[in-house]
Amino acid sequence: MNIILHSIILSVLPIAELRGGIPYAVANGISIPVAYIICVVSNIFVIPVTFLFLDTLHKQFYKISLYRYFFDKMVVRTRKKAERNVGKWGYWGVMLFVAIPLPITGAYTGTLAAWILKLNKSKSFWYLALGVVIAGIIVSIATITGIGLLKIFTK
């Protein structure tokens, strides 16, 4: 049970997300399909929680100078990426942004981008969730490939 819990925690952490959760689960003996489902569902959970935070608690936290400094820094970076790469494609752009499993392109940043661009939250959720599903497939394939290469080179 610890491995599953750790995989869930990694999948909801802002930096690790699926890139950490799926490989961790598989490396600890969980099958790819089970790891995929656990980690993708956990990562999708981040989307409504992030929207909820941005619509409620963010206003209170923004009064704290340290929070405001880091949030503004993140928003400036995200806004540049969102307007340049996501803005012209709208919901599809947000989905593609999340689907590419690179650092700082996960569910958190995608949700923040949708919020900054004032996209409809309900509609955004489904596109962001689809992005997480695609990212999960990519990370799973990369994990399987990595394991296969390890087996080849350790013989």
Q: Is residue 54 part of a domain?
A: yes
Q: What is the 3-state secondary structure (H, E, C) of the chain?
A: CHHHHHHHHHHHCCCCHHHHHHHHHHHCCCCHHHHHHHHHHHHHHHHHHHHHHHHCHHHHHCCCHHHHHHHHHHHHHHHHHHHHHHCCCHHHHHHHHHHCCCCCCCHHHHHHHHHHCCCCHHHHHHHHHHHHHHHHHHHHHHHHHHHHHHHHHCC
pTM: 0.89
Report the domain count for the chain. 1
Q: Is residue 72 part of a domain?
A: yes
What digits encode the pLDDT tens for the residues 23-70?
999 999 999 999 999 999 999 999 999 999 999 999 899 999 999 899
Q: Is residue 113 part of a domain?
A: yes
Q: What is the mean pLDDT of residues 141-148?
A: 91
Structural domain of 133: 43-153
Q: Is residue 124 part of a domain?
A: yes
Q: What pLDDT is stored for residue 16 in this prediction?
A: 94
